[in-house]
Amino acid sequence: MKTIEHWINGSPAAGTSPETAPVFNPATGQEQARVALASAADVDTAVTAATAAFETWSESSLTQRTQVMFAFRQLLVEHEEELGRIISAEHGKTVDDARGEITRGREVVEFACGLGDVLKGSFSDQVSRGVDVHNFRQPLGVVAGITPFNFPAMVPLWMHPIAIATGNTFILKPSERDPSAANFVAELYKRAGLPDGVFNVVHGGKDAVDAILTHSGVEAVSFVGSTPIARYVHETATAHGKRVQALGGAKNHAVVLPDADLEFAANHITAGAYGSAGERCMAVSVAVAVGAAADGLVEILERKAGEVKVGPGDVPGIEMGPLVTKASQERVENAVGTAATQGATVLVDGRGLKIDGHESGFFTGPSLLDHVTTEMDAYKEELFGPVLAVVRVDTLDEAIGVINANPYGNGTALFTGSGEAARRFQRNVKVGMIGVNVPVPVPMSYYSFGGWKDSLIGDSPIHGPEGIRFYTRPKVVTTRWPQPKQQVAAGFNFPTSS
């Protein structure tokens, strides 16, 4: 059986640990490969390689770095289909969905290609007599990314292009559930001309994570995953003197007002809820139906949930693939049963779905729950599966109150034809990313991605301007160039600009 190795210093590396973990094909339920699990010594080897590479990469020209990014971007375009199929085979999402995540990740590469303008400093002439001031930003050193299974290409692409383009070297610890995309990206970087050691991949579980969080040679850590682990990453890494980006979980609401186009809203909410089998941190998991919108919205949602085409991700026309693991399938289906016992109305029941020829796959169909309350587990828990809960309220202000009382604040959306309602909503909800008639408001690469409350631990969003800030540190330089033999008096009191 194939063993997926690490990628260290420009080539595959078996590592020192004999431990491996299974990699499944979610559509068949069969183990298709093993992935090597890194020891602390393997992480140290990667850090050593990245540290050595930093000495020269950090001194490379901005032109050289952006040329690598341009070449890397082109290779992502040329190999999009191949990478999409690699993702689909290990994650379960459809190939089209996988290609979509590659496209969104590639947008960050394109942002990194234009860093020449973003990294420009400022200059102040004659701040004092014969004195000028300017500033610029420099890379940190070796930085690391710890990323989740649900976007094995896109989420890492939110991190390493900016880190590398600003002069850092990078160590990626992807999810061991779908590790092959990371190695494929490493090969593309090498073909793009990236020097050995600048981008490294170590696979593994908690031992590898802890080794990264505590290693003295790692300057910063970026993390995307569940909130409890985000807290652990933030606390552990900051205790060891590192910068940390830690993005956690979500419970995203889509509010529908009576003046909305209900067909339009239901169509987009269905895609937002069930796309990628709901395994997205920005998935719509709660539809908040306001007043007279409720019955009509639920009727259309029920129809559309029943029309979703479920099957293997590599079959043309399929809209939703399996969940990533058997445990995920069981957890989601148990949550639907619990919702029923707690009083929710199960309008569409996705449990027990079997796909011909793939009876052992980790499939569950879309589930739609009506009359869900905020006290039910189906509302409170991040299910990370194809389950949409409908909460009914009387007013927009009540809907805003529901959202603001939720511990998460990642994304939210409002469907309406009213500009006044949209403005009130976007100003009053305590959420980091907001869509108006847009169900999944993931910002473009030149903005930053990050929620509020328990969806972002600390204060560092990812990519865009915040990504530049995170992976660099500023210097301010004050200069004086006196003429030869010119005497400049020195003062003993605190210097001023006079």
DSSP designation for 41? H
Q: How far apart are CA 473 and CA 138, in angstroms?
A: 5
Residues contacting residue 456 through CB under 8 Å, at least 6 positions apart = 246, 247, 248, 409, 410, 432, 450
Q: Which of 290, 261, 258 is nearest to 396 (CA)?
A: 290
- Count other C-beta atoms under 10 Å from residue 493's C-beta: 5
Catalytic annotation, pick one of 68, 281, 290, 344: 281
C-alpha 471/C-alpha 389 separation (Å) is 39
Question: Taking Cα atoms as reference points, which of 309, 307, 310 lies closest to residue 322?
Answer: 310
Alpha-carbon span 369 to 381, nearest angstrom: 14
CA distances from 274 to 256, 325, 339, 410 (A): 18, 17, 18, 18
CA atoms of 479 and 52, how far apart (whole Å): 32
Beta carbons within 10 angstroms of residue 108's beta carbon: 28
Quick one: DSSP state of residue 276? G
Maximum distance among all Cα pairs of the chain, rounded to whole angstroms: 90
113 is an active site residue: no
Could you list the active site residues? 281
